[in-house]
Chains A and B, each alone.
Chain A
Amino acid sequence: MLIEMDALTKELPALAGTTPGALCELLAGLGFPVDAVETSGPSPVLEVDITANRGDAQSHRSLARDLAAKLGARLGPLDHVPLEEGPALVPIRLEAGDAGPFYSTAVLELGRGTTPLPARTFLAAMGSTAKGLPAVDASNELLHRYGHPTHAFDADKVKGGIRVRWAWEGEVLVTLDGVERKLTSQDLLIADDEGPIGMAGLMGGDGTKVTAATRRVLLESAWFDPRTVRAMAQRHGLFTDASQRFGRGADPAFARVARDLLVQRLQAWGGARLVSAWAAGSMPPAPAPIRLAWTLLDRVAGYRVERPAAIAFLERLGCQVREADGGLEVQPPTWRHDLSLPDDLAEEVLRLNGYDAIPAALPPLDCAPVPLSAGYLKRRRLAARLANLGFFQTVTLGFGDPMEAEQGYPKGDHPDLRTLKNPLGEDYSVMRGTLLRDLSKVARLNLERGAKEVRLFEIAPVFEAHPGQPLQETWTLGLVWAGEEGGEDPLTPPRRLSKPEGQAFLIGVLRSLGVPAEAVHEFNNWKLPGWESGVKEPVGWRFEIALEAIPDEPEQIVPRFAPFSRFPVVERDLSLLVDLGQSYTALRQAVAAALGGTPLQDLRCVDVFHKGLGKGRQAWLLRLRFQAMERTLTREEVDGWMALALAAARTLGAERRS
């Protein structure tokens, strides 16, 4: 909201001489931070941030009221002379109950005058241009100064009486902005005998608007239910100065005053002549008084608030305060719809006393501590481990395009059930079922920008949807490796990993995270998809895995001791010719089974090669390590075990390679 310093000082003379900077501090301390200060005009204009609960604070006078309460200063005079009401020239019928319980009006014959310069300057500072029509400009000026929206109809265009009623389904009104509005039965209307002439609390109708040709005006200063106005503004996407005020709660008691002030202005500016002023209905009932216990106030504040000061602050805000048993009984003023609980009143006292007065303390550690969850710890450890292995953690948005297949990761779910109703666009419409698509895009971006090697991982939830089941979110690790290794120092020559090497590299990463070999068999889509033409196709691999498939850290910080031998280890190699396609696990298990009962410590394949072996064959070099717990092994017994190993391999069709 825009606040002109001169206009604010008129409402609160004590501000005279205050600098914009000091005023900003003062306002921020009251909960109204200033977003910007414009100093190019005759008086500085502040852009003040008004929180949603303070509908009442949207004017110069109401902000001055808060400042006056803070400073203990007096507000400037309102110059309000209550009008003597006369006969109703046309009937006002209030047919919408609590949604529009009060309506005051007046009819005036306009004179020849126009909007005076100070009002024009003020309106310009408020970001609007004076129309030169006093009835329109005065209404606008009043709104910014006092916060109560009013409206002027061309009285000669209003047919018959005024009705405040709900619209009929399908009724149509062209509003002042020239837009044809289709109305529903939830829209509150101002209507005459022939139909709608305004949307209550939002905007008047085009057909009854005041023009240069208007001779007589019919004024409106009413009160409308905030909920109704908010819903209408949202339904029609019509957010106006009026809807901002009625929608957040206008002051019902000020409706009549605003009408009087508007009449006074038209008489003073344009030489208008009042024909009659009248009103219908009554104010909404005042809410019940609130009990504020001193104990509550002190608990909220964290210090003992001086009783007389608390009472004074509340009274300065317009509350009626009565001391009651152990606290206060407080009747909030008609403009403060936000005050309904004792905590609200406590906040008011603290706010006016200043949050600087609140002491700082740490709450005592009086509740049982809770350990960090295993899932959270696992993610942190995993991320730290991968970062230390040379991978960069990414954060991607997580929206996907339904047209892009989630290549190779068919979850068999229903992507349409993880689709947004109101996405930012088609390419942001599906919540992702895999991390790999985003990771692959990031890999590509980095390669296109000249990165030689890309190592990325992301840990985030991915979605899975099945009909009739709740949407599932699974914490997932995705990892991508692409590009060329080495070439950055004299000792590491550059090289591109072959397909088996790249795959093996990622399996190594998985295994180092503790993923069992069996789980790794489920991966079948290691290769990064090829890029579109124009980009040199990089060599790269990827995988993703649900975090629950990665084992937790053992619970015991220091695990159980496992004894190890102090006798020498005997290492023997066994070179075997096997068929291509021979399962390593099967062979390994067969050999290990044959050596059951021997002190075999380790058995692994340390070399694989194919050259010069003939079609369909390959060579595996197995390395076996024997070590006994209690003695040194002899050559003869190890020879015997190696013979057993070879025999076991032979049963699977392997032969010794000489």
Chain B
Amino acid sequence: MELSLLPNEMRTAHLAFPGLLAECRDLDALMRLKGIYIGREDSHTVTLMQLLKAAPKEHKRDLGQTVNTLKNHWEQALKDRQAALEQERLREAALANAWDPDLPPPLPPRGALHPLNRLMDRMVDVFRPLGYHVEEGPEAETESHNFDGLNMPPDHPARGTADTFYFKGHEGLLLRTHTSPVQVRVLRRIGARGADGLSELERRGGIRFLAPGRVYRKDEIDPTHSPMFHQVEGMIVGKGIGMHHLKGTLAYAMKALFGPGADVRFRPSYFPFVEPGAEMDVRCPLCAGAGCRVCKGSGWVELLGAGLLHPNILTLAGIDPEAWSGFAFGMGVERTAMMVSQTPDLRLFFENDQRFLRTMGGLD
């Protein structure tokens, strides 16, 4: 290439080209540069072509070669640069449109069921396959359902105003102190004879149900007491029901609730509405039985009270205890929830801090 044949301004244009090309950071700038060097009008290429046309014959061949080389060089360099810039633009566009999966996405709102309700629901689900349904009763109860029907003598201390809340203006109306009045209601209902001389119990051939719900006792609020708490009560009436059925049912339920490894023990106890009475303990989850503050050194935590239905309970409801028998059990929901979760303070369940509910509750 013979640069000496070119006029000064063309030589300068050629020498400036690499620098100008490098300065083009986007396609607009590149298009402007393209216009200046290889545009159809008023570009350096046009100037070169005019020079070539006007050149004397003897120079035409050399100049022609030089002009061609320059033109091809510019065209190729501009084309390469354009391709590179386009590539870059696509890459940026792609990046701008992409979502970094590590960025926080907008989450669908997520609430939770209250842990106490969830535990009660779970109990129902555990007992459902055994044929239990749900029975419920009012929270404002009569003494007849809450105490009399449960074989609790008229002078039983739990009936006192130190233990039980009574309503003003409704004689004998109280806030139920346990879910057991639901038992009494159901027993009286299924024990009553219809027009056909048969009772609901006889028509059904037995009954089994759970009664979950809110109950009230006159306890001051502290880390382990509350004037309102929850119980889940279960009952079965049938033919030939014995302690082996109670033990089998509770062992199944406790393993379903607390896992197949749950270590439980079944021991004698006393409640006025059952005979024989029993309690079920679970091996202390905190110390695994070694003895600690939660189990008061005994290695066991009381889980529920139970027993065969006292014959008096059946008789009071008009059911013949010679023909029918059954069992009942009752579990404290808060107590169980606290033990399983190792929640240190009962009040947390009723304070309803969303942070507590978020960690302790679930969606199903």
Binding site for B on A (CB under 8 A): 24, 28-31, 33-37, 51-54, 227, 230-231, 234, 299-303, 341, 343-344, 346-347, 350-351, 355-356, 358-363, 365-373, 375-376, 380, 383-384, 386-399, 416-424, 428, 431, 442, 445-446, 449, 451, 454-456, 460-461, 463, 465, 470-471, 473, 488-492
Contacts and interface: CB of A to CB of B under 8 A. Distances in A.
A369 B170 contact: no
B358 A398 contact: no
B130 A31 contact: no
Given A33-B302, A302-B247, A392-B112, 12 more contacts: A30-B268, A36-B297, A300-B242, A351-B268, A370-B133, A371-B133, A394-B352, A399-B227, A421-B168, A431-B140, A445-B353, A446-B353
B173 interface: yes
22 contacts: A31-B268, A33-B279, A35-B296, A54-B270, A300-B243, A343-B276, A363-B245, A367-B206, A369-B133, A386-B111, A392-B112, A395-B116, A424-B220, A424-B221, A446-B353, A451-B354, A455-B111, A456-B352, A470-B170, A473-B139, A488-B106, A491-B105
B266 A356 contact: yes
Given A347-B275, A423-B165, A303 B138 contact: no
Interface stretch (B69-77, B89-97, B232-240): B232-240
- Which of A360, A371, A376, A388 counts the most B-chain CB atoms under 10 A from its CB? A360
**Chain B at the A interface: SS class:** mixed
Nearest to A338: B270
Nearest to B279: A33
Given A392-B354, A398-B228, A473-B138, A366 B239 contact: yes
A391 B245 CA distance: 41
B14 interface: no
Contacts of B208: 363, 367
A397 B226 contact: yes
B244 A302 contact: yes
B251 interface: yes
B23 to A, nearest CB: 35
B168 A489 contact: no
Nearest to A486: B106
Contacts of B275: 341, 343-344, 347
Among A422, A488, A492, the most chain B Cβ lie within 10 Å of the Cβ of A422
A432 B112 CA distance: 24
Contact of B106 (A350, A371, A419, A491): A491
A366 B241 CA distance: 12
A373 B133 contact: yes
B218 interface: yes
Contacts of B351: 442, 445
Given A362-B245, A363-B249, A366-B206, A489 B113 contact: no
Contacts of B300: 28, 33
A65 B225 CA distance: 36
A175 B207 CA distance: 54
Interface string B250-294: 011000000000000111111010011111000000000000000
Given A417-B170, A471-B140, A302 B245 contact: yes
Nearest to B108: A390
A347 B238 contact: no
Contact of A347 (B236, B277, B302, B357): B277
B268 A350 contact: yes
B247 A392 contact: no
Interface stretch (B26-34, B54-62, B155-163): B155-163
Contacts of B160: 234
Contacts of A492: 106
A31 B363 contact: no
Contacts of A423: 165
Interface string B164-185: 0111111001010000000000
B202 to A, nearest CB: 11
A394 B228 CA distance: 14
A24 B350 CA distance: 35
A433 B205 CA distance: 41
Contacts of B139: 461, 473
B114 interface: yes
B363 A384 contact: yes
